[in-house]
């Protein structure tokens, strides 16, 4: 998915596969786009930052979708299915950023 984003026309977007210093990344973020692991979701709730969650389809019992749905129900996140993310993510991110 990272190769699908035009970073030249989106200078304020930083895409990374992995981040070592999460507190610094959260502090610098306006919006978090991530998978929906339980630890990650807990961290997102602690930061108070809005998020777009894309649950991994390759986890036991589809638990990431359940985690993401809990975040949606709390009003903290948007949920995108993995299969829809490449097409839907850019517009959703732009929409959320415009609505700040």
**Is 15 in contact with 5 (CB distance < 8 Å)?**
yes
Domains of the chain, first to last = 23-98 (3.40.50.2000)
pTM of the predicted model as reported, rounded to 2 decimal places: 0.86
pLDDT confidence of residue 2:
54
- 36 pLDDT higher than 70: yes
More confident residue, 61 or 11: 61
* Interval 12-22: pLDDT, tens: 777 787 899 99
Q: Is the dihedral of CA 24, 30, 89, 80 positive or negative?
A: positive
pLDDT confidence of residue 5:
62
pLDDT confidence of residue 44:
96
């Amino acid at each position: 998915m990272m190769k699908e984003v035009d970073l030249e026309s989106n200078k304020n977007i930083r895409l990374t596969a992995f981040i070592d210093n999460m507190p610094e990344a959260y502090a610098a973020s306006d919006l978090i786009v991530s998978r929906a692991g339980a630890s990650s979701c807990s961290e997102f709730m602690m930061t108070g930052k809005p998020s777009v969650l894309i649950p991994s389809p390759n986890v036991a019992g589809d638990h990431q979708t359940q985690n993401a749905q809990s975040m949606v129900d709390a009003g903290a996140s948007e949920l995108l299915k993995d299969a829809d993310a490449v097409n839907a993510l850019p517009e959703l991110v732009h929409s959320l950023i415009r609505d700040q």
